[in-house]
Amino acid sequence: MKIGIDAITFDVAKIHLPIKTLAKARNIDPEKLEKGLGLLKMTLPDTHQDTVVFGANALTKLITDHAIDLTEIARIYVGTESAIDGSKPLSSFLVTLMEQNFGENTLSECDVVDFTFACIGAVDAMQNCIDFIHLNPTKKAIVVATDFAKYDLNSTGEYTQGAGALAMLITANPRIIAIENHWATSTKGVFDFFKPYRSISKTAITGNATNEPWFENLESEIEIHKDQPVFDGQYSNQCYMDRTRDAYFCFKKLKKTPETVYDSWNSIVMHLPYAFQGRRMLSEIYALDASITTISGNEDAVEYQNKLKEVSKSEAYKAFVAEKLMPAEIASSLIGNLYTGSIFMGLLSTLAHFYDTEKEISGTTFGFLAYGSGSKSKVFEGTIQPNWKSAMTGVHLFETLEKSLEIDFETYEKLHKKEQRTSIQTPKNEWTLHRIETENPNLLGARYYKWAE
């Protein structure tokens, strides 16, 4: 029985800062970011947008564009690392909003939950839903990946920011791609990138050493939430390489094949914190699993890295990248990092590229190398189905991205610092964050949303 992705939709922030503008403001050579990392634009949430808004917009499109009967949906599972509440999951917000638009109690028997494991959370959600459909082939499930990648101003991650969501319908006999039942995993608990609970002493804020109540906080320390992570870029890259390499060769063992696995993949879709991350990280796997290679794995660290650099600069590897990796990079260059949505946007970018260029890919195999900091990688593969084009007819990915509104650097910094109070664009035919409760003591912080006509 074939199970996989039957339909996919997206919602991406509609405003962006050109990477060239950011580079000039930060005294960085624009070519380092554009040609070195593949970055062109950085999408940003408007003041009326958050991860619930992006997820709800993508989910609404999925339901309307594919005429989904919500009573047939058994679960809506969300992958995110941008939660807005420490207890109430994003999925519970999404169910409420869908019932507002499509009918009360239409999802009252639907199971919902959020999955959090950095950028791999939505892959975990999808695997869980696929397992569920295996056991219940007449049921349908939806996976939503929604995130906002935000980094500190002037940090080395600043130019990789992005915001948006994707929604995917998981069914038996899918139109787009059937996921094979081979999942390889590599896990190791590390601190390459994380978002810790932080605090500051009340005395440092108030100047009062007697721990007087402060805005109803009785504790001597004030908890602080930051969307921005603590991270070590070089170490995170190494963890990415280590986990994906180990998961890849675990996958090879599961397949019980002596052949080079990536040779069987028409396209390779990876987690892309920035557009060229995949091509920069994959050279090791490319070299180690090649039928003819100059790398044994027994070299000392310096010699090993030098050989990998030689491989990455070879004409053969460049051709490999152009053939198997490039289509997934296109959207990433125009959006930025979507965290849990990154790998699925890579899939959508690849499909849109082949759809627009009228290339037939039915029956071909796509390989997926997922990664989440902390850290975990999963490698799996899927086969493109004969009716994939019918599910792509109304997607219009690249046309939509072309309509993004450019903002200037001053506006960008005001948005980042939350000094911008009004929307840059007037919302239309989309969900918006309407208000956050500030008065009712039993609902302090509750977030309310509405549909903007």
Residues 207 and 341 in one domain: no
Rounded-to-integer distance, Cα 338 and Cα 370, Å? 13
Residue 150 lies in a domain: yes
Residue 291 lies in a domain: no
Tally of CA atoms within 13 A in the half-sphere of 220 that contains its CB: 4
Rounded-to-integer distance, Cα 43 and Cα 453, Å? 23
Structure tokens at 136: 């219940």
Residues 398 and 268 in one domain: yes
pLDDT digit string, tens, across residues 6-26: 999 999 999 999 999 999 999
Residues 188 and 202 in one domain: no
Structure tokens at 1: 């029985």
Residue-averaged pLDDT of the chain: 96
Q: Kindly state the average pLDDT of the residues 153-162.
A: 97
Q: With the C-alpha atoms ordered 351, 354, 357, 359, is the resulting torsion angle positive or negative?
A: negative
Residue 136 lies in a domain: yes
Residue 308 lies in a domain: no
Residue 241 lies in a domain: yes
- The secondary structure of 127-155, three-state, reads HHHHHHHHHCCCCEEEEEEEEEECCCCCC
Task: Provide the pLDDT for residue 356.
Answer: 97
Q: At 157, which CATH number?
A: 3.40.47.10
Task: Provide the pLDDT for residue 303.
Answer: 86
pLDDT digit string, tens, across residues 330-383: 999 999 999 999 999 999 999 999 999 999 999 999 999 999 999 999 999 999
Residues 120 and 242 in one domain: yes
Q: Would you say residue 302 has pLDDT above 90? A: no
Q: Would you say residue 262 has pLDDT above 70? A: yes
Task: Provide the pLDDT for residue 216.
Answer: 86
Residues 41 and 138 in one domain: yes
Task: Provide the pLDDT for residue 291.
Answer: 62
Residues 104 and 216 in one domain: no
User: How many other β-carbons are positioned within 10 Å of the β-carbon of residue 383?
Assistant: 17
Residue 61 lies in a domain: yes
Residues 333 and 363 in one domain: yes
Residues 212 and 331 in one domain: no
Verdict on whether the full-model pTM lies above 0.85: yes
Residues 209 and 112 in one domain: no
- The secondary structure of the chain, three-state, reads CCEEEEEEEEEECCEEEEHHHHHHHCCCCHHHHHCCCCCCEEEECCCCCCHHHHHHHHHHHHHHHCCCCHHHEEEEEEECCCCCCCCCCHHHHHHHHHHHHHCCCCCCCCEEEEECECECHHHHHHHHHHHHHHHCCCCEEEEEEEEEECCCCCCCCHHHCEEEEEEEEEEECCCCEEECCCCEEEECCCCCEECCCEEEEHHHHHCCCCCCCECCECCCEEEECCCCCEECHHHHHHHHHHHHHHHHHHHHHHHCCCCCHHHHCCEEEECCCCCCHHHHHCHHHHHHCCCCCCCCCCCCHHHHHHHHHHHHHCHHHHHHHHHHCHHHHHHHHHHCCCHHHHHHHHHHHHHHHHHHCCCCCCCCEEEEEEEECCCEEEEEEEEECCCHHHHHCCCCHHHHHHCCEECCHHHHHHHHCCCCCCCCCCCCCEEEEEEECCCCCCCCCCEEEEEEC
Report yes or no: 271 and 120 within 8 Å, Cβ to Cβ.
Answer: yes
Pairing label, strands 3-12, 15-18 = unpaired
Residue 198 lies in a domain: yes
Residues 181 and 237 in one domain: yes
Q: Which domain holds residue 207?
A: 194-224
pLDDT digit string, tens, across residues 133-157: 999 999 999 999 999 999 999 999 9
Residues 200 and 80 in one domain: no
Where residue 293 falls among pLDDT bands split at 50, 70, 90? low
Q: What's the domain count of the chain? A: 2
User: Which of 204, 224, 244 corresponds to the end of one domain?
Assistant: 224
Q: Would you say residue 59 has pLDDT above 70? A: yes
pLDDT digit string, tens, across residues 391-442: 999 999 999 999 999 999 999 999 999 999 999 999 999 999 999 999 999 9
Residues 95 and 218 in one domain: no
Residue 95 lies in a domain: yes
Instruction: Please give the torsion angle defined by the CA atoms of residues 350, 355, 360 and 362, in that order, rounded to the nearest 10 degrees.
Output: 60
